[in-house]
């Protein structure tokens, strides 16, 4: 076992060996430009790109013509939201999203606000989920787009996408779902789930970084976008720029592997999480699960260890690579906007750690990690004036704190 | 974020962790910060005459906050009350090589020293020198 142990699968994943092996020839031998129509190098590259398109389409039950390659989810989000905004602004300039979205969505929405759009930010419930009813209530005459994430990247909560999609369809509003954390991890079916656009990145599903895709529905309804990148008219004019052929080949293979192994991957990740959480809850008191315990991404475990602060915890996990929702790990000094939007309380937000388990995580990793977490929490609670007060029976909410 | 060796040392081996009897007349207790801000320091001093003979702390906060309060107890132990009052956060920043984003940790440690001394003085009327009480 090599240290540190990687437990941050929501941030990124290692490239699967099967994926890497498929990619390698496209760097050195089949290095053609997929847009070169005049020679075999180009044809080989184009064929590889088409194979990937079919693999991606198969995973999400789309047609190949509905896949637009991008550099990743952030670019796809920008293209989807700004592209729809510019195309349909004569119909209306109102969009709906949620406070718990990834910054790529929130910052794009902010950008659109500066350009005259009005944005409604739905407040998620305390598990981080948005309901179809909330969306229904927010839709207005001039609403042109609803952007709600499939699954939350920090707490793993899975939104009721099919129901939200049904509301959007009924109201004639386009529905975009950032599905970066969902595609390849849980079943995603663009037809059954009523989505018009979704996006994802290769590196979250054991593929390479720097490549992703946007699904754009072609029928019922046909979604039209204004390109955000002008150039050679690649990707049916929606995204110009020479295709990243090795990356795209990797993305396609990653999707094919994910489709073939999904059941196995889900069982593996969930089994590991169960093992981890059992050990933690058996050994420690005052630990809380952030997110919806029953509707969480496989392998995602976001826990708050009350009365100890997240950054100091991470210092204690010397051999673990994990993320914290604490302010102190960021430059902003604000705790996670996701946990804040869920109103778990800033105090618990400061005490949160996201553990992510995946395909390459083993039971030995889990056992080692649980032990290190338990030791660190116990040590820091010995140091914690809050834990001491709680042990003495003092209600922390009755104290007049001197905030700073 | 990379921590200085001194921060890591205080985190791994915090000095003077614990609690003194807050009801005792010769003990001053300072609690500063707030849980929702992500740091709370409790710093206690035990005073004999005008000398701090013991100091203890407990801190909820990041590694830099723990190190700042640990260092503070180390520095004030054996000092006269007035000398302890003169410790400023910039000395803590220098000693621990805190980056700008962690300066508030040192401010909190200075506040904790001052709050503990104020509590001690409040308990003991004007028995101790009374200048510069306000944190």
From the list A331, A383, A386, the residue facing B101 with the nearest CB is A331
The pLDDT assigned to A347 comes to 86
Residue of chain B minimizing CA distance to A344: B36
User: How do residues B11-23 score in pLDDT, each as one tens digit?
Assistant: 999 999 999 999 9
Whole-prediction pTM: 0.92
Interchain contact, A347 vs B36, CB within 8 Å: yes
Interchain contact, B108 vs A309, CB within 8 Å: no
User: How do residues A287-302 score in pLDDT, each as one tens digit?
Assistant: 999 999 999 999 999 9
Residue of chain B minimizing CA distance to A346: B36
Burial of A136 (0-12, 13-18, 19+ CB in 10 A): middle
Interchain contact, A311 vs B40, CB within 8 Å: no
B62 is catalytic: no
Average pLDDT, chain A: 95
* Structural domains in chain A, sorted by start: 5-10+261-389 (3.90.1150.10), 17-258 (3.40.640.10)
* Structural domains in chain B, sorted by start: 5-123 (3.90.1010.10)
For residue B33, the chain A residues in CB contact (below 8 A) are 401-404
Residue of chain B minimizing CA distance to A352: B38
Burial of A40 (0-12, 13-18, 19+ CB in 10 A): exposed
Sign of the Cα pseudo-torsion (B50, B53, B57, B62, in order): positive
The pLDDT assigned to B125 comes to 81
User: How do residues A336-381 score in pLDDT, each as one tens digit?
Assistant: 899 999 998 888 999 999 999 999 999 999 999 999 999 999 999 9
Burial of A324 (0-12, 13-18, 19+ CB in 10 A): buried
Interchain contact, A403 vs B34, CB within 8 Å: yes
What letter does residue A189 receive in the DSSP assignment? -
From the list B17, B34, B65, the residue facing A382 with the nearest CB is B17
Per-residue pLDDT band at A41 (split at 50, 70, 90)? very high
**What ipTM was assigned to the predicted interfaces of this complex?**
0.89
Q: Which residues contact B131 (CB under 8 A, 6 or more apart)?
A: none
Q: Which of B78, B102, B56, B125 lies closest to A385 in space, CA to CA?
A: B56
């Amino acid at each position: 076992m090599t240290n540190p142990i990687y437990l941050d699968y929501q941030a990124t994943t290692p490239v699967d060996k099967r994926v890497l092996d498929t990619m390698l020839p496209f760097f050195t031998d089949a290095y053609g430009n997929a847009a070169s129509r005049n020679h075999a190098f180009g044809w080989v590259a184009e064929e590889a790109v088409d194979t990937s398109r079919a693999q991606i389409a198969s995973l999400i039950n789309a047609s190949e013509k509905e896949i637009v390659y991008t550099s990743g989810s952030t670019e796809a989000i920008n293209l989807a939201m700004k592209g729809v905004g510019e195309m349909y602004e004569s119909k209306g300039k109102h969009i709906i999203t949620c406070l718990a979205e990834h910054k790529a969505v929130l910052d794009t929405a902010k950008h659109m606000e500066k350009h005259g759009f009005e944005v409604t930010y739905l407040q998620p419930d305390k598990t981080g989920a948005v309901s179809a009813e909330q969306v229904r209530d927010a839709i207005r005459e001039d609403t042109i787009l609803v952007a709600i994430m499939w699954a939350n990247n920090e707490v793993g909560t899975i939104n009721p996408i099919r129901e939200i999609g049904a509301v959007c369809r009924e109201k004639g509003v386009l529905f975009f779902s950032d599905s970066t954390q969902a595609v390849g991890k849980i079943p995603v079916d663009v037809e059954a789930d009523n989505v018009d656009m979704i996006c994802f990145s290769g590196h979250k599903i054991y593929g390479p970084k720097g490549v992703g895709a946007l699904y754009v529905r072609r029928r019922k309804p046909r979604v039209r976008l204004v390109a955000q990148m002008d150039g050679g008219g690649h990707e049916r004019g929606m995204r110009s720029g020479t295709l990243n052929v090795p990356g795209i080949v990797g993305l396609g293979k990653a999707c094919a592997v994910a489709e073939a192994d999904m059941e196995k991957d889900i069982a593996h990740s969930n089994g590991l999480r169960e093992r981890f959480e059992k050990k933690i809850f058996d050994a420690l008191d005052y630990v809380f699960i952030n997110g919806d315990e029953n509707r969480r991404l496989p392998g995602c475990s976001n826990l708050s260890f009350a009365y100890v602060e997240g950054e100091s915890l991470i210092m204690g996990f010397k051999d673990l690579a994990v993320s914290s929702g604490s302010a102190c790990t960021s430059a902003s000094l604000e705790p996670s906007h996701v946990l804040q939007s869920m109103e778990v309380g800033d105090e618990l937000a400061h005490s949160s750690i996201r553990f992510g388990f995946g395909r390459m995580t083993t039971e030995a990793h889990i056992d080692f990690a649980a032990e290190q977490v338990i030791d660190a929490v116990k040590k820091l609670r010995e140091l914690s004036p809050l834990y001491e007060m709680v042990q003495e029976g003092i209600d922390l909410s009755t104290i007049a704190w001197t905030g700073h | 974020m990379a921590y200085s060796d001194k921060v890591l040392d205080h985190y791994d081996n915090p000095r003077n962790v614990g609690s003194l009897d807050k009801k005792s007349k010769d003990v001053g207790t300072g609690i500063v910060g707030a849980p929702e801000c992500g740091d709370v320091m409790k710093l206690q001093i035990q005073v004999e005459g005008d000398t701090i003979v013991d100091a203890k702390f407990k801190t909820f906060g990041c590694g830099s906050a723990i190190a700042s309060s640990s260092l503070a107890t180390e520095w004030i132990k054996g000092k006269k009350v007035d000398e302890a009052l003169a410790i400023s956060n910039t000395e803590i920043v220098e000693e621990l090589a805190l980056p700008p984003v962690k300066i508030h940790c040192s401010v909190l440690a200075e506040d904790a020293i001052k709050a503990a001394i104020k509590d001690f003085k409040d308990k003991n009327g004007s028995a101790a020198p009374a200048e510069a009480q306000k944190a």
